[in-house]
């Protein structure tokens, strides 16, 4: 996409209604959360995203690029690691030593860390050691800077993570690069996002799960509405460069999904390679893997001591959180959002 073909970002930005903003502010301790709605579907985004939306929409795509896309907390990190190891000939040495955040630039992470970065830089002289100060600056470089320039300088093949809906990405993305999208039961997504919002102090969610659930289903949390996000990718699933996966499929039969991903990437997997890969990706090993579990961020006071990034890795974990009223409400909400579509989650009977 050359400069002479630069496209205007096609979606308008709307302010969130004042009463909705008050409810959001009441439930999040971090005082600088500033959300807006974007486009006809009203995707909720952090305001710093708007400044760079057009740059992302015009990002030059390479035929060798591999994107792992999802609504956040759908099993993205698990899928990233699976994809990276298949594409890089099972290079476990690198996978275990180089953080996944360095192997996969996160396309829009800057919008979450923009204000946090400013707060950190204001107080950087208070950091007690030169080593910690350098680590902090490196973390901010990875998470708070727009990645479009970094991507331009990266060698191919590039592996890129995004939680943006497909309509916010370059229009030629699936015609040029490979995209793996992973979806998950909306109820489990809500629970995992609730813990995620409690984990990262850039959110610092202060309410109970029921409070979060109401935000989530009423499209007042970042990147909601959830089903619109999933349906955009689902409608592209027959494109030869799009592979659509369900988290529940990975949980039920990981080797089968590995074979699908390998075929999509043009790779072959021996039984021996499969055994080691599935062991590497097992929940217990994944939770302990410092290259993927974000535990290194604790020293920067970015994450809460009471939560972990890799949590339980369950399917149908929502049953531990929902009472009967919430269960019925969720069933109606899911049915309403799936009506008129052929999208069905593999573990659901209707």
Residue range 61-338 forms a domain whose CATH class is alpha beta
DSSP characters over 228-249: HHHHHHHTTTTSTTEEEEEHHH
Nearest to 36 by CA among 139, 111, 135, 125: 111
Burial (CB count <10 Å: 0-12, 13-18, 19+), residue 280: middle
Nearest to 227 by CA among 211, 213, 238, 216: 216
Rounded Cα distance, 245 and 281, in Å: 16
User: Are the beta carbons of 344 and 236 closer than 8 angstroms?
Assistant: no
In order along its 350 residues, the chain shows pLDDT tens digits of 444 589 999 999 999 999 999 998 889 877 678 899 999 999 999 998 999 999 999 999 999 999 999 999 899 999 999 999 999 999 999 999 998 888 999 999 888 777 667 767 666 766 777 877 777 777 777 666 778 888 999 999 999 999 999 999 999 999 999 999 999 999 999 998 998 888 776 778 888 999 999 999 999 999 999 999 999 999 999 999 999 999 999 999 999 999 999 999 999 999 999 999 999 998 888 778 777 766 666 566 666 656 555 556 566 778 888 899 999 999 999 999 999 999 999 866 43
Q: What is the pLDDT of residue 294?
A: 64
N residues, the chain: 350
User: Are the beta carbons of 77 and 247 closer than 8 angstroms?
Assistant: no
Joined tokens for residue 123: 């107080």
Nearest to 50 by CA among 96, 14, 88, 86: 14
Nearest to 72 by CA among 205, 151, 174, 162: 162
- Is the alpha carbon torsion for 188, 11, 109, 282 positive or negative? positive
∠ Cα 14 15 18 (to 5°)? 150
- Buried residues in 127-139 as b, exposed as e (16+ CB within 10 A): beeeeeeeebeeb
0.85 cut: is pTM over it? yes
- Is the alpha carbon torsion for 233, 235, 241, 244 positive or negative? positive
Pairing of strands 66-70, 159-162: parallel
């Amino acid at each position: 996409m050359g400069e002479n073909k630069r496209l205007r970002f096609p979606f308008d930005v709307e302010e969130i209604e004042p009463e909705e903003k008050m409810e959001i502010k009441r439930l999040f301790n971090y005082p600088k959360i500033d959300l807006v709605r974007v486009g006809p579907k009203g995707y909720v985004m952090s305001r710093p995203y708007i400044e760079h939306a057009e740059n992302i929409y015009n990002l030059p795509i390479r035929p060798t690029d591999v994107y792992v896309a999802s609504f956040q907390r759908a099993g993205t990190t698990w899928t990233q690691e699976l994809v990276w190891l298949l594409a890089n000939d099972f290079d476990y040495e690198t996978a275990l030593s180089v953080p996944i955040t360095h192997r996969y630039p996160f396309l829009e992470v800057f919008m979450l860390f923009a204000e946090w970065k400013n707060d950190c830089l204001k107080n950087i002289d208070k950091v007690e050691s030169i080593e910690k100060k350098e680590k902090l600056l490196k973390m901010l470089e990875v998470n708070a800077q727009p990645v479009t320039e970094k991507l331009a300088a990266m060698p191919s093949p590039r592996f890129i993570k995004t939680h943006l809906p497909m309509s916010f990405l370059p229009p030629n993305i699936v015609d040029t690069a490979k995209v793996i999208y992973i979806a998950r039961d909306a109820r489990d997504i809500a629970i995992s996002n609730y813990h995620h919002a409690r984990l990262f102090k850039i959110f610092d969610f202060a309410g109970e799960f029921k409070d979060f659930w109401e935000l989530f289903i009423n499209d007042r949390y970042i990147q909601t509405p959830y089903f619109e996000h999933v349906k955009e990718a689902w409608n592209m699933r027959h494109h030869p460069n799009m592979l659509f996966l369900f988290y529940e499929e990975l949980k039920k039969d990981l080797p089968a999904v590995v074979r699908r991903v390998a075929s999509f990437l043009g790779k072959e997997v021996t039984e021996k390679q499969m055994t080691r890969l599935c062991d590497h990706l097992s929940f217990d090993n994944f939770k302990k893997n410092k290259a993927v579990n974000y535990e290194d961020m604790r020293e920067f006071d970015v994450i809460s001591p009471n939560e972990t990034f890799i949590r339980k890795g369950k399917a149908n974990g929502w049953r531990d959180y929902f009472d009967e009223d919430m269960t019925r409400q969720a069933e109606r909400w899911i049915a309403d959002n799936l009506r008129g579509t052929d999208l069905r989650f593999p573990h659901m009977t209707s």
